[in-house]
Amino acid sequence: MRLGKSFASAAIGAALFVTGAAAEEAPAMDPDFDWAGPYFGIYGGAADSIIFRGVRLVAPNAELGVQAGYNFVLGDLVAGIEGQFGASFYDCFLCGDPLWRLTGRLGFLAGYRALIYAEGGVIGYLPGVSWIVGGGTEIAVGESWSMFGEALKSQFTWTFLVGLNRHLGN
């Protein structure tokens, strides 16, 4: 249990550091970043142990994948849908277990270049299909690029992700 809390604290700290550093180091740009429309990207992160019905199935592991989504913007509110496909690596890099997520996102713009959001949906992986909820921050780092950090909780585990998205509407 103690390892899980330390792992969670380190992952949250890393995600906040990455998105915070991007916001501080991003050059001053015009406020024309368009969050609306399609995007795609890559992500990586880590998950705590997968525990199913009180039995540890998988030790803490790494995760890598791709994602795509679509955002709708109404004033300072952003709503969207996102799909992710990746693999969870807990033993060796070449023997990853596939996983997928389908989530809805709802957030608000904090200034022109930052999005703070909550999300929820479903995930499918080793133990089965589960609900998933979480939230994160996404920072625009160029005319059509953004970086994000998020924490997700499912029935089985905590997952912490960071990634890079290319927005096609810009």
pLDDT of residue 94: 59
Query: CA 160 to CA 153: how far, in whole Å?
Result: 9
Whether pLDDT at 7 is above 50: no
Domains and CATH numbers, the chain: 2-167 (2.40.160.20)
Complete DSSP assignment for 16-62: HHHHHHHHHHSPP--S-----EEEEEEEEEEE--EEETTEEEE-SEE
Strand, coil or helix: what is 96?
coil
Query: Which of 75, 132, 144 minimizes the C-alpha distance to 105?
Result: 132
C-alpha neighbours within 13 Å on the C-beta side of residue 159: 30
pTM: 0.77
pLDDT of residue 12: 52
Q: State the average pLDDT over residues 23-42.
A: 73
